[in-house]
Amino acid sequence: MSYTADLPETGFLRLKSILAPYGPIPVSKSTWWAGVKDGRFPKPKKLGARVTVWRVEDIRDLIENGAS
């Protein structure tokens, strides 16, 4: 099953769209943030004080190539 087809070509995604059950990555929030901290998952971008997003291109790369 290819989740990359459901993602937009470019833009940004919020965490809710990345993690299961709504997104393609089946990990918890705490696992995700631990992975961001140690470099396994892509670094986020801050759009505002309370808005954190990830580039779609980075998420596609993670899905296709796995965590490093």
Q: What is the pLDDT of residue 6?
A: 82
Nearest to 22 by CA among 7, 42, 40, 37: 7
Mean of the per-residue pLDDT values for the chain? 92
pLDDT per residue rounded down to tens, the chain (68 residues): 566 778 899 999 999 999 999 999 999 999 999 999 999 999 999 999 999 999 999 999 999 998 76
The reply to whether the predicted model has a pTM over 0.85 is: yes
Percentage of the chain beyond pLDDT 70 is 91
Cα 51 to chain centroid, rounded: 14
- Structural contact between residues 28 and 35, judged by C-beta atoms closer than 8 angstroms: no
Q: Which residue has the tokens 């190539």?
A: 65
Predicted local distance difference test score (pLDDT) of residue 2: 60
pLDDT digits (tens, 9 = 90+) for 27-44: 999 999 999 999 999 999
The total of structural domains in the chain comes to 1
Closest by alpha carbon to 58, among 38, 46, 44? 44
Domain of residue 18, residue span: 4-65
